[in-house]
Amino acid sequence: MRKLATLLGSAAMCALLATPLFAQEGNNSIVTVVKVTGENWFTRMEEGVKAFGEDHKDVTTRQVGPAKADAAQQAAIVQDLIAQGVGAIAIVPMDPSSLEGVLRRAQGRGIKVITHEADSLQNTLVDLEAFDNTAFGAHFNEQLATCMDGKGKWTSFVGSLGSLTHVQWADGGAENAKKHPEMELVSPKNESFNDANRAYTLAKEILRAHPDIKGFQGGSAIDVIGIGRAVEEAGLADKTCVIGLGLPKDTGPYLESGAVDSISFWDPKDAGYVMNILADKVLKGEEITDGMDLGVSGYNKVAVTKGPGEGVIVRGQAWVDVTKDNYKDYPF
Amino acid sequence: MSLSVTANDEGRRAGFAKRIAGFFRRYPEAFAALLILILCIGVGLLNPAFWQLANLFDILRGSVVRGLFALGVLMVLAAGGLDVSFSAIAALVMYAVTKAVTLFAPDTGMVLIFIMSAVGGALLGAINGVLVNALKAPSLIVTIGTQYAYRGFLLTFIGTALFMNIPPAMDHFGQWSLMSRTAENGFTVQLPGFVLVLAVAALATWAMLRFTLIGRAVYAVGGRPDIAERLGYRVSSVQLFVFAWAGMLAGVAGIIHVSSNRLANPFDLAGIELSVIAAVILGGARITGGSGSVLGTLLGVVLITLVSNVLILIGIPSAWQTAILGLFILSAGVFFVLQKRWS
């Protein structure tokens, strides 16, 4: 009898202890999960996440992410958030396919899932794309073609072959290059693993294997820095075209020297803000419709299409091209 | 008749294999040298563009940071331990020193920067040594722990953002070139001055292992710690010394990484550990301790750098590159096992 009482007592204690843990955050909390903490890109995104929280006092927003760009660590963070019982998760997946399972579990627990840069993901309610990725890749390639006079060898870089958007940009670029029969794609989709030094080493090796190469298309935001350094050291800044995703502040020195010709990006601050707008709308049960104005520049008339799963894909027209002349207008 | 010939043949073949195995046993460095030779000839046949000065310069450039790490690992390995925290030490030191110099004394000279990073790295390495001694735990476990601790400390307390404007002294040092060649297509290649740092570090490590008492103590402790102790070697001070030495080299390697990369990224260098240990092992050091040479280690480093630098040249698609690198290390491992069985 006494034993039973002890057992019941300890069970009650456990329940008491466990409840506050699960109820730590309410249904109005939106947590943004990024690929890696500390990269300038995601630091800028955090500004948007915080701004949304300040503009809307009825929700709490915060941003988390692994210390290393690693899909497994990102999945572990989502597991933690499920245990904490947050209202919505807005995630920028490192490797979308590897997150399907854990995001399905989150949805099963009633957590609203919003994604960014993952239009192949099934277990999401809304996926936000700053633009159509294939069109963005084609846009890079058009810039390259103009710079190269439509002829010569070119190559493409990706952060990793698992980063879907980077691969879509590379493929979109390759598809567009068919319009320019004299452009020849060599050694495509080099993996830089988001490391400038790796991008540098690869670029040098490509320069050696193809000394007459004319164009480089960067994938991860750090690729153009490494490629730019290789091109600059080889004394080829004027003879090659380097174009890709990049951040104005980081790429500034290479834009100045002409090693990098043009960078494009979407403002991660706006993307962070818009992800939270979408999460807020989903939490409040509001419908997201085609042609809607989300109140942020570049997202004034979004295209809404059906996604691969139950959810929808929201696309803006939010890319920005930056060259030597105007990079100083973007202080991040 | 024919039977006896076959037996004779086999005996001769076995003798030959034994002699070769014996040779590689005596000169374990020769294996890495042989692989380098085969690789160079193979790649050179597939793509003659391999034979150019630029390639040699790039391999040397690519070997410096890994080489400094490898010399540290060699010391720890020879003393019977294993260190996987060096990449975190390098990241912490390079980022902290770069940030401190930029914020407080942007005109600091390169010599002082190197001294600061060497001392900082040695202190962090000494923490490893103290922990290994105090906990009596395997050094692999201890350094896995400190690797996470150092990196966590870096990201939590020092910073996470990319640092583009490194101090001018470091920038100049990274750009310093010993030799410069311009090819006919306007291609400029440079032999960076910081390869000298690796040369100095290698000479110092070699002289120390070869001529000093502590060098003898390192091999003694790594080979048979019980006997070394009975002979009067102080195992704990030897361990402290090797980890501090590895830490010091890691700190210097970090500064070179930042100088040549022209940016300080606290996430860099993560994941390099296994390729460094592989380089030391390919260079003939036994993972169980008590052996290994500086020459072999350098050859191992050049081999690993070579493999990861020539795959584009021979047109291997990027999805295959890491797999090929893995296969290469694996086949080397198989060779070492077979060689032991033959002899």
Q: Which residue of B has its CA nearest to A195?
A: B268
B64 CB neighbour count, 10 Å cutoff: 24
pLDDT of residue B333: 76
Give the pLDDT mean for B97-119: 95
pLDDT per residue rounded down to tens, chain A (332 residues): 455 555 555 554 444 444 444 445 567 899 999 998 877 789 889 999 999 999 999 999 999 999 877 888 999 999 999 999 999 999 999 888 899 999 999 999 999 999 998 888 999 999 999 988 898 999 999 999 999 999 999 999 999 888 888 999 999 999 999 999 999 999 999 998 888 988 999 999 999 889 899 999 999 989 999 999 999 988 899 999 999 999 898 899 899 999 999 999 889 999 999 999 999 999 999 999 999 999 998 899 999 999 998 899 999 988 889 999 999 888 77
Specify the amino acid at residue A288: I
CATH annotation of A133-265? 3.40.50.2300
Angstrom distances, CA of residue A94 to CA of A79, A99, A327, B46, B208: 15, 9, 27, 36, 46
ipTM for the complex shown: 0.79
Please, what are the domains in chain B? 27-45+52-342 (1.10.3470)
Please tell me whether residue A213 adopts helix, strand or coil conformation.
strand
Q: Residue B10: pLDDT band by 50, 70, 90 thresholds?
A: low
Strand-pairing partners, residue A264, are A245, A321
Helix, strand, coil fractions of chain A, as percent rounded to 5: 45, 20, 35
Which pLDDT tens digit goes with each residue over A196-205?
A: 988 999 999 9
Q: Which residue of A has its CA nearest to B316?
A: A187
Strand-pairing partners, residue A288, are none
CB-based contact B262 A229, cutoff 8 Å: yes
Q: Rounded to whole angstroms, how far apart are CA atoms A244 and A136?
A: 10
pLDDT of residue A28: 85
Q: Look at the alpha carbons of A253, A254, A256, A261 in this order and tell me if their dihedral is positive or negative.
A: negative
Give the pLDDT mean for B264-279: 89
B256 CB-near residues (< 8 Å, 6+ apart): B64, B65, B68, B174, B194, B197
Q: Rounded to whole angstroms, how far apart are CA atoms A267 and B128?
A: 43
Please tell me whether residue A331 adopts helix, strand or coil conformation.
coil
- Looking at the complex, does the CB of residue A249 fall below 8 Å from at least one CB of chain B? yes
Please tell me whether residue B283 adopts helix, strand or coil conformation.
coil
Which residues of chain A make contact with B262, given a CB cutoff of 8 A? 229
Q: Look at the alpha carbons of B158, B163, B165, B168 in this order and tell me if their dihedral is positive or negative.
A: positive
pLDDT of residue A213: 94
CB B181 within 8 A of CB B53: yes
Residue position matching structure tokens 């490194």: B166
pLDDT of residue B202: 97
- Element counts in chain A: helices (H) and strands (E): 10, 14
CB-based contact A222 B162, cutoff 8 Å: yes
Which residues of chain A make contact with B186, given a CB cutoff of 8 A? 235-236, 239
- Looking at the complex, does the CB of residue A70 fall below 8 Å from at least one CB of chain B? no
Give the pLDDT mean for B69-92: 96
The full DSSP string for A231-280 is HHHTT-TTT-EEEEE--HHHHHHHHHHTSS-EEEE--HHHHHHHHHHHHH
A210 CB-near residues (< 8 Å, 6+ apart): A153, A155, A186, A187
Which pLDDT tens digit goes with each residue over B235-252?
A: 999 999 999 999 999 999
Give the angle subtended at the CA of B8 by the CAs of B5 and B14, to the nearest 5°: 140
CB A30 within 8 A of CB A280: yes
Q: Which pair of tokens denotes residue B35?
A: 């692989």
Please tell me whether residue A63 adopts helix, strand or coil conformation.
strand
The full DSSP string for B209-239 is HHHSHHHHHHHHHHH-HHHHHHTT--HHHHH
Q: Which pair of tokens denotes residue B306?
A: 């070579």
Angstrom distances, CA of residue A312 to CA of A126, A128, A166, B248: 5, 9, 21, 54
The full DSSP string for A268-316 is HHHHHHHHHHHHHHHHTT----TT---SSTT-SS-EEEE-SSSSEEEE-
pLDDT of residue A21: 43
Higher per-residue confidence, B313 vs A256: A256
Q: Between the CA atoms of A101, A103, A105 and A108, what dihedral angle is there, to the nearest 10 degrees?
A: -130
What are the residue ranges of CATH 3.40.50.2300 in chain A?
24-131+268-318, 133-265
Which residues of chain B make contact with A39, given a CB cutoff of 8 A? 160-162, 267
pLDDT of residue B1: 42
Which ranges of B283-317 does DSSP label H, i.e. alpha helix? 294-310
- Give the closest residue to A144 by CA, choosing from A134, A154, A158, A157: A154
- Looking at the complex, does the CB of residue A38 fall below 8 Å from at least one CB of chain B? yes
**pLDDT at residue B170 greater than cutoff 50:** yes
- Element counts in chain B: helices (H) and strands (E): 14, 2
A157: closest CA of chain B, how far (Å): 10
pLDDT of residue B7: 52
Superfamily (CATH) of domain A24-131+268-318 = Response regulator (3.40.50.2300)
Which pLDDT tens digit goes with each residue over B34-63?
A: 989 998 999 999 988 888 888 889 899 999
**pLDDT at residue B340 greater than cutoff 70:** yes
- The pLDDT mean for chain A works out to 89
- Looking at the complex, does the CB of residue A250 fall below 8 Å from at least one CB of chain B? yes
Burial class (CB in 10 A: 0-12, 13-18, 19+), B165: middle
Q: Rounded to whole angstroms, how far apart are CA atoms A133 and A168?
A: 6
Pairing of strands A320-322, A262-265: antiparallel
The DSSP output letter for A122 is S
Q: Which residue of A has its CA nearest to B184?
A: A211
Read off φ and ψ for residue B278, nearest 5 degrees. Answer: -60, -40
Strand-pairing partners, residue A116, are A128
Q: Which pair of tokens denotes residue A140?
A: 């890079």
- Looking at the complex, does the CB of residue A187 fall below 8 Å from at least one CB of chain B? yes
pLDDT of residue A68: 78
Orientation of helix B318-342 relative to helix B2-26, angle to 10°: 110
Q: Which residue of A has its CA nearest to B47?
A: A209
CB-based contact A208 B261, cutoff 8 Å: no
Which pLDDT tens digit goes with each residue over B180-224?
A: 887 766 677 889 999 999 999 999 999 999 999 999 999 999 988
